[in-house]
Amino acid sequence: MFDSYAENTLQYHKDRCINCKRCTQVCPHGVFAEGPEHAELAHPAACMECGACALNCPVQAIEVQSGVGCAWAMISAAIRGKDMDSGECSCGGSEGSCCGVQEEKSSCCNEK
């Protein structure tokens, strides 16, 4: 109830994992944990779909539809009649864009 974030597009095929531990190194939310034989999916609901794990997995054991969870970008795209998923979190650059200002630690859309 009142939790839209319990499910996401992350899929992990444990059988393909070669235990290189890359996913545990790139995930900013500890979704994957090291295991004796293969990486363990420790906190799947914490996934923010950044896509780092899937992009860095050498054996395609991880799949995720990566994107930026920015309502502002999605609503703007929808208002302009575009596909919501094409709603780029247009960081930096021109006026009226999101992101910027912050250091590495902050996410997108800091400066709208």
Partner 1 sequence: MGHRVEPGLYQIGNPTAESPVLASANYTLSFDALRSALAGFDAYILVLDTNGINVWCAAGKGTFGTGELASRIETTGLAGIVTHRKIIVPQLGAPGISALEVQRRSGFRVEYGPVRASDLPEYLRTGKATSEMRRVQFPVRDRIVLAPVELVHVALPAIVIAAVLWFLAGPVAALAAIAAVFAGTVLFPVLLPFIPTRDFSTKGLLLGGVVAIPFAAAFASGSALPGWAALIAAITPLLIMPAVTAYLALNFTGSTTFTSRTGVKKEIFRYVPVMTFMAVSGIILGIVLGVTRLLGVI
* Interface with partner 1 (CB under 8 A): 1-5, 7-9, 22, 24-30, 46-52, 55-56, 58, 65-75, 78, 84-85, 88-89, 91-93, 98-112
CB of 25 to partner 1, least distance (A): 5
Measured CA to CA, the distance from residue 74 to residue 110 in angstroms comes to: 15
Q: Which amino acid type is present at position 80?
A: R
CB of 105 to partner 1, least distance (A): 6
Q: Which is nearer to partner 1, 16 or 85 (CB)?
A: 85
Q: Are 71 and 81 in contact (CB under 8 A)?
A: no
Q: Which is nearer to partner 1, 38 or 99 (CB)?
A: 99
Those residues with Cβ within 8 angstroms of residue 33's Cβ, 6 or more apart along the chain or in another chain = 24, 39, 40, 42
